[in-house]
């Protein structure tokens, strides 16, 4: 029997745990974890993402402040705001919503955030820590994907894992997380030859390519765990993933749907990273 991994339900469970943890932290320290989000310009998708993050934070008891800056904001103005937030002891997590307007040097902005407050986990210091296996902030989407995989199978040691996609925010950190779990990892990308054959080797297949339904059943190993990160909007306005859900589901052990799969876990891991940042900044051991 194939399992549908409903990320929305698993995310709900985590959010309740985080809400309880935040309440306990508030009771013991008198302070709530605080997340500051910086959004520049009017990109409609970004506006929705930021609203969702703000709502989720508030529901978890996390203090959330959104800094909405006009599209004309200069690089210096953004960096000045980030410096203020870096130095503000009341701010535990800083998230700069991407993409930034084209004239802004996005990597410079990402690198301006203190690594200890970088709840997106995109700062090179945090990505480096992921490589060395040190404790750092883990990017939210791959962190959420790993939690979903572990809902199906706790010990991944020795499994063959394939990640399709090599972006810095999903594919590369995902591959590193699976390597840290003792998987034998292959990263596939747009230049990979014989993609179907590569994917068929995967006990764990994570797809983050942004290509609607392009992973079909002939590319999936019988009994694989398949995580579909893709979010694609079809012409009819509906969302779909990178995996052809109908054909792949009967063949695999477990598969995430789109929507209600990885997306809700991404936001949940942002909350988790904010609590993590708060605890580290206040030298509190987490007991999750
Ligand atoms: P990206 O465009 O930065 O990277 C896409 C990657 O896929 C590239 O590395 C490319 O080499 C690879 N790729 C493209 N076409 C391919 C092909 N035909 N065969 C093999 N590899 C191919 O995208 P991203 O930011 O990593 O996002 C990937 C997808 O995941 C998008 O649909 C995005 O919307 C979605 N996403 C979802 C969440 C979430 O929370 N659910 C978060 C981030 C991204």
pLDDT in tens, 240-286: 999 999 999 999 999 999 999 999 999 999 999 999 999 999 999 98
Do 140-263 and 29-115 have the same topology in CATH? yes
Q: Half-sphere exposure of 143 toward its Cβ, with a 13 Å CA cutoff?
A: 22
**Catalytic annotation, pick one of 36, 117, 118, 120:** 120
Element (H or E) spanning 232, and its range?
strand 232-233
Predicted pLDDT of residue 168: 96
Residue 239 has pLDDT above 80, yes or no: yes
Mean per-residue pLDDT for 47-69?
97
Domain spanning 29-115, CATH architecture: 3-Layer(aba) Sandwich (3.40)
**Catalytic annotation, pick one of 53, 117, 143, 221:** 53
208 CA to centre of ligand 1 in angstroms: 4
CB 120 within 8 A of CB 199: no
Predicted pLDDT of residue 288: 63
Nearest protein CA to atom 35 of ligand 1, as residue: 230
Q: Which fold has domain 140-263?
A: Rossmann fold (3.40.50)
212 CA to centre of ligand 1 in angstroms: 10
| Distance separating alpha carbons of residues 37 and 41, to the nearest angstrom | 13
Distances (CA, A) of 249 to 136, 206, 256, 266: 35, 14, 9, 22
Burial 164-188 (b: 16+ CB within 10 A, else e): bbbbebbbbbbbbbbbebebebbbb
Query: Where do the structural domains in the chain lie, given as residue ranges?
Result: 29-115, 140-263
223-227: which pairs have CB atoms within 8 A and are 24 or more residues apart? 223/252, 223/253, 224/251, 224/252, 224/253, 225/149, 225/152, 225/153, 225/252, 225/253, 225/254, 225/255, 226/252, 226/254, 226/255, 226/256, 227/5, 227/145, 227/148, 227/149, 227/255, 227/256, 227/261, 227/262
CB 15 within 8 A of CB 55: no
Ligand 1 binding pocket mutation candidate from 106, 140, 170 (most atoms within 8 A of CB)? 170
Ligand 1 atom with the smallest distance to the CA of 210 is 32
Predicted pLDDT of residue 1: 79
Q: Which residues pair with 95 in a beta bridge?
A: 37
Residue 94 has pLDDT above 80, yes or no: yes
Active site residue 88: no
Nearest protein CA to atom 22 of ligand 1, as residue: 190
Query: Does any ligand 1 atom lie closer than 6 A to the CB of residue 166?
Result: yes
Quickly list DSSP for 10-54: HHHHHHHHHHHHHHHHHHHHS---EEEEEEES--HHHHHHHHHHH
Query: Does any ligand 1 atom lie closer than 6 A to the CB of residue 11?
Result: no
Residue 199 has pLDDT above 70, yes or no: yes
Write the pLDDT tens digit of every residue in 98-142: 999 999 999 999 999 999 999 999 999 999 999 999 999 999 999
| Distance separating alpha carbons of residues 93 and 86, to the nearest angstrom | 9
Active site residue 203: no
Query: Does any ligand 1 atom lie closer than 6 A to the CB of residue 168?
Result: no
Query: Does any ligand 1 atom lie closer than 6 A to the CB of residue 8?
Result: no
Ligand 1 atom with the smallest distance to the CA of 189 is 21
**Catalytic annotation, pick one of 36, 97, 203, 251:** 97
Write the pLDDT tens digit of every residue in 144-187: 999 999 999 999 999 999 999 999 999 999 999 999 999 999 99
CB 58 within 8 A of CB 28: no
Active site residue 31: no
pTM exceeds 0.95, yes or no = yes
């Amino acid at each position: 029997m194939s399992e549908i991994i409903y990320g929305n339900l698993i995310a709900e469970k985590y959010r309740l745990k985080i809400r309880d943890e935040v309440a306990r932290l508030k009771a013991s320290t008198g302070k709530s974890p605080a997340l500051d989000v910086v959004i520049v310009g009017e990109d409609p998708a970004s506006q929705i993402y930021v609203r969702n993050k703000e709502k989720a934070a508030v529901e978890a008891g996390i203090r959330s402040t959104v800094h909405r800056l006009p599209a004309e904001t200069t690089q210096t103005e953004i960096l000045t705001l980030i410096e203020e937030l870096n130095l503000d002891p009341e701010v535990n997590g800083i998230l700069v919503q991407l993409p930034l307007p084209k004239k802004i040097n996005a990597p410079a902005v990402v690198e301006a955030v203190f690594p200890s407050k970088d709840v997106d986990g995109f700062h090179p210091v945090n990505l480096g820590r992921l490589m060395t296996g040190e404790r750092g902030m883990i990017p939210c989407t791959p962190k959420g994907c790993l939690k979903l995989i572990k809902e199906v199978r706790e010990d991944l040691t020795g499994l063959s894992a394939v990640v399709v996609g090599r972006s810095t925010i999903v594919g590369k950190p995902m591959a590193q997380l699976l390597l840290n779990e003792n998987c034998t990892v292959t990263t596939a990308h747009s230049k990979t030859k014989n993609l179907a054959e590569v994917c068929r080797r995967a006990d764990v297949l994570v797809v983050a390519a942004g290509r609607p339904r392009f992973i079909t059943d002939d590319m999936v190993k019988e009994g694989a765990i398949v995580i579909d990160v893709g979010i694609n909007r079809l012409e009819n306005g509906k969302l779909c993933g990178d995996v052809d859900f109908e054909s792949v589901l009967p063949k695999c052990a477990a598969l995430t749907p789109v929507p209600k799969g990885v997306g809700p876990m991404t936001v949940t891991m942002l909350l988790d990273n904010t609590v993590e940042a708060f605890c580290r900044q206040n030298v509190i051991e987490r007991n999750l």
